[in-house]
Amino acid sequence: MKKRICFIFINLLLCIILLSIPNYSKAKSKQADVKKGKIIFQTIDTKAKTKITWSTVGFNICRSKCLPNGYPTKLDHATIYLKDGWKNQIDNHDGTYTVTFTIPQTVVDNALLQCKYEKIQDNDIIYLNGIFQVWHNGKKYGKVINNLPSIQKAEYWRNPKDFNDHFDIYAVYQSSGAQPVTVRYITQANKVISEEKLAPVKLGEDVHVTLDKEKNYGGQTLALAQSTIYYMANQKKVKDHPVKKVTSVNAKNYNDQVKDVYKRSYRQAPGGLLIVALMKPKKPKGSSGSDVLEVPLEDPTPHGVIAADERDDEQFNVEEGIPTTEKLYTNVFSNNYLLGYTFTKKYGIKVYTISATKTYNLKWTETDPKTKKEETKEKSVTISHPVYIKREYSFWKISKIEYYKIDHAAVNNYALPGGVSKLTPVGYTVPELDYTNREDDEDHMVKPEPEITLATETLNQKEAPSVDLTDEADGLVKQIKVRNDKLVFDGTLVMDDNYVEKETKKPTDMDVSYDETGDDVLYRPGQVIDATKANGIYESTGTVNYKLVKQLNGKHGNTLSYPVSDLTNVVIHTPTVCDAFISNKASADQMITPDVSLSPLVLDTPFTIQLPTEGEHLDIDGYGYQDYAKYIKSREVKFPFDVYEGSTYIRAGTWVTLTRDETSFYLPIWVDEGKYNIDFRSISINAEANGGIDKTQELANLERNNYVATDQLSVEVSGRVYGLKLFDISDYPIWENVFRQENSLRLSGFNYTVGTNDQNGVDTRRNPKYTFTLLNGSHPGYSNIGAIKTGYVTRFQLTTIGNMYSDQDSVHIKPTFYYVDSKGGNRQPVDLYYSETFRGQKQILVKVGSFMDQFNTKAYRLGDPYFGVPDTELNTKAMVTGRNRNEIRGNKKNLFSYSNVLIRENLRTYTGTNYTPTGTVPYGVDPDKVTKSMQKWYGEYYLPSEIHVVPQGYDVIGYAKNHYGIDYKEDFWLKNGYIVVNFDIETLQNGNPHLSYLNLENAKNGYCNMWRTEGYQYEKKDYKGNTFEFQDGDYIMYYTNKSAAEDYKSGGTH
């Protein structure tokens, strides 16, 4: 995985590692140190006080800054997650804990290399960026967060900008000292010959190594063919010129070539360097005897590679995993050619019959019988005799020759296109070989002449002598002329066929090379793994095929085939990740007891899901944490409830394809409130072709037999309560023309709202003058009117959305009361006492909220003309409930006492008709349910005319008992100011508290306070310029010293 640490440093700003461990808050003191290459970090933590916390669970390490954008994963980076095994926690028994993290050096080294910082030196700079986990009530909430914008928006943090301090953390690197250097000698078959540990070298200094040029191993002499430098920490080749090699260990200029191979230098890296020397066998010598020179046809030992492109910079280790659509290369190495031969020496003695002719000049004397004189006689006599002459001979014949060159190689693996990679030699030639062979020995010899004339000899005798001419003839008969067969190899005359006498020259050694093909001869890059191929482990096989070039008396056929060794298996593992996020809708959630372990969703609001293609996968080359978009065919989400994407309706249970990392949806009003699971899946590009749609794994398909990564987000859907409006004040005629049409009880449509925003916090451009809380100056026509005289009724309405349509559902309002003076100051909670006729008699000095007050209830019906309920609402309610319209209008129930308001179903209408993004209800959705899912509630409230105000908790009854009654002139009565009526509004679902307009406690943790959302004006000035400061829930202000009763006395009713 690319989740490796990338830092070793002393006195760093690592104190952020545990700025907010779950259940802990900010650290009091922190320090970091390095001992023996390990990071030792210590912090003292205290327990957190809030339910929603966050913790730093790891770091992304970069070489450059990521701010102001705050996306470190878009830069070259390495990632480390802090592990429990690195943590030691000690209870200090004073409410604090000492937490120590020890981060291993191996993790450090790997990370430095991972973020391409292999040439780091002491005092170099790196940057740390926090990885975060949010916690709700000590439980993980959501997934880890890697970037600044996401953590800032994850919750309603008090100061989201605080997270800026956890990115681009400046760190000074300090190493653990000299790093190791190891030299390893290996054979072609990757067998270790020997391994040596050299003296360690410090970072920033160069490592210099001199390798042995020859090694004896297994009875062979091996020569240095290649040297490769690796990072010891991750066993990967170094970045710059990792490999040096010779063309052949048998090359004539080997000693020149090997100079660059056996002397290597490289800058030391974290974790040290490993230098691997590849040794190859030198050319064997041919066998020879007195009569035969023979070099057999050697069997080659081909070996090959199947790996990920690019060669020498492989991004994947195919033995661990490579995705489809990635490219493979195949590379095979074998002897350039195969050559075997037998040269036979032919020798012996030939006996030739030679006709030797010799002439004798004879001279003698004899007595002439007639004259009796001595006469000299002369004559010439030529004689011919056969003689037998022995002659030795010796020559060389080509008895056998077999010469093959490479035709092609083939590597077989399922991952390859068509399952096979055929490698035809490129840039490949073999030496020329020409020969002349003569089968008949006589063709190798020229006989001596069969006749010979010896020297004439003069003898003083009459008759030619009878002598053996052999010896004389032997000296004159020439030697046999002999010749070899002819063979020329690679321009060198190995066997000369010119005639010589008696004995030919021994053939010269043939310079048969056992060198392997070069890197690019049998090499094929860019072989794309078909996108649809199945995940799995696939065996590799291969052959090298040679074809005949020349052959004499050979025992092998026209083609030879040899298996290729060292081919690794290929593991196809197409990755997919599925790490979903959902927007935090806590700021719209009004639930009184939300499940903080679930993500809140709110009806009639949009929400956003994020399903990036970026994520965490296996800790192997090419995987880890990165963007896997090219391996993912589709990203999908399935909602267990109906949603809309724009104007497109999506039925519950439908898989929806996501085309972007972030997609917004809308939650319609008819979805039932409750807890749900949203399913996500990311389907790999090879899933469908291999029946893999149902082969799933959470977050990532870490097991290769799975093709789909899944995630599931648990959410809680809740309704809404909003839109509190004051639409009537019964102090007529002062307010009549404001709220009523002229000469009619029909509502004018004018109202006062909570604030200047709608329920979604969008500015409505409403004049703040016409918002709560009303004070003198709020009247649209009179500059000094706004506060209300006691005894006058206020009428209001509000809206709810959700499952608030049963007979047991209601809206509960708990009034509380405050006193402010005439200038808006000295606010304090108060108790109210009133006198009013109920239960058949005048009740005196009744405390609001007392036992007696509970019996003073006011009942209302929806058909009350002052509510002004539109006929459309009445008709709609009749239609969806099946009840009679008159019954609906006349259904009268208790609404409120002065200390308690409970709006029941009789004052509820349904206003959700066709409330959809398109204005029409989709097919299959119950239109009546849509209509019922948005409710309007009508309510009325007032304070009695005869009312008196005291500081909260003052014992008025006790005072009266001790002072023989009360005359309302006592000093403890609060007068000459206003009574602020504060509404705490809650919905009751099936009789249980459900939603809150104020949501006071939860709002402290980022949940919805609808007063704030709707733009409540916390400060207003009255017409005299007095500043009044209000609080959430302040509904209306009544005068303490003005009442409707006084108006009736002075001017009659209105």
Cis peptide before 402 (omega within 30 of 0): no
The stretch 1001-1007 carries a mean pLDDT of 90
> 535-549, 575-589, 667-681: lowest mean pLDDT where?
575-589
Query: How close are the terminal C-alpha atoms of the chain, in Å?
Result: 81
Q: Which contiguous run of DSSP H or E holds residue 388? A: strand 374-412
Per-residue pLDDT of 52-111, as tens digits, reads 788 888 888 888 899 888 898 888 887 888 887 777 778 888 777 776 767 776 777 777
Phi and psi at residue 586, in whole multiples of 5°?
-60, -30
> How would DSSP label each residue in 985-1010?
EEEEETTEEEEESS-HHHHTTT---H
Cα–Cα distance for residue pair 1002/590, rounded to 1 Å: 8
Polymer length in residues for the chain = 1054
pLDDT at 612 over 50: yes
In which band, very low, low, confident or very high, does the pLDDT at 223 lie, cut at 50, 70 and 90?
very high
Per-residue pLDDT of 721-770, as tens digits, reads 999 999 999 999 999 999 999 989 999 999 999 999 999 999 999 999 99
CB under 8 Å to 36, separation ≥6 — which residues?
A: 105, 176
pLDDT at 284: 62
pLDDT at 21 over 70: no
Amino acid 109 reads D
In which band, very low, low, confident or very high, does the pLDDT at 430 lie, cut at 50, 70 and 90?
very high
Which one, of 548, 549, 551, 546, lies nearest residue 563 by Cα? 546
Across 201-210, 368-377, 930-939, the highest mean pLDDT is recorded for: 930-939
Degrees to nearest 5, angle at CA 995 with 991 and 998 = 130
Amino acid 825 reads G
pLDDT at 241: 76
Sign of the Cα torsion 750, 754, 756, 758 reads: negative
The stretch 961-968 carries a mean pLDDT of 89
> 2-6, 637-641, 818-822, 908-912: lowest mean pLDDT where?
2-6
Burial classification of residue 697, based on how many CB atoms lie within 10 Å of its CB (0-12 exposed, 13-18 middle, 19 or more buried): middle
Sign of the Cα torsion 55, 59, 60, 66 reads: positive
Task: Tell me the Cα Rg of the chain.
Answer: 53
pLDDT at 27 over 70: no
The stretch 823-840 carries a mean pLDDT of 94
pLDDT at 702 over 90: yes
pLDDT at 364 over 80: yes
The stretch 979-989 carries a mean pLDDT of 97
CB under 8 Å to 360, separation ≥6 — which residues?
A: 380, 381, 382, 383, 456, 457, 458, 459, 464, 465
SS3 content of the chain, % helix, strand, coil (to 5): 10, 45, 45
Task: State what percent of residues in the chain have pLDDT above 90.
Answer: 66
- Across the chain, what does the average pLDDT equal? 89
Q: Which residue has the higher pLDDT, 173 or 722?
A: 722
Strand ranges, E, within 82-211: 87-91, 96-103, 125-136, 139-145, 169-172, 179-186, 192-201, 206-210
pLDDT at 117: 66
pLDDT at 29 over 70: no
pLDDT at 530 over 80: yes
Cα–Cα distance for residue pair 2/625, rounded to 1 Å: 5
Pairing of strands 523-528, 841-847: unpaired
Cα–Cα distance for residue pair 1028/1007, rounded to 1 Å: 27
Contact 352, 323 (CB under 8 A): no
pLDDT at 25 over 50: no
Across 198-212, 319-333, 497-511, the highest mean pLDDT is recorded for: 319-333
pLDDT at 887 over 70: yes
The conformation of residue 670, written as its DSSP 8-state character, comes to T
The whole model's pTM is what? 0.78
Torsion, CA 296, CA 298, CA 299, CA 302, rounded to 10: -170
Cα–Cα distance for residue pair 281/223, rounded to 1 Å: 6
In which band, very low, low, confident or very high, does the pLDDT at 385 lie, cut at 50, 70 and 90?
confident
In which band, very low, low, confident or very high, does the pLDDT at 15 lie, cut at 50, 70 and 90?
very low
Cα–Cα distance for residue pair 968/985, rounded to 1 Å: 33
pLDDT at 3 over 70: no
pLDDT at 34 over 70: no
> How would DSSP label each residue in 884-930?
-HHHHHH-EEEEEETTEEEE-GGGEEE--TT-STTSSPPTTS-HHHH
In which band, very low, low, confident or very high, does the pLDDT at 357 lie, cut at 50, 70 and 90?
very high
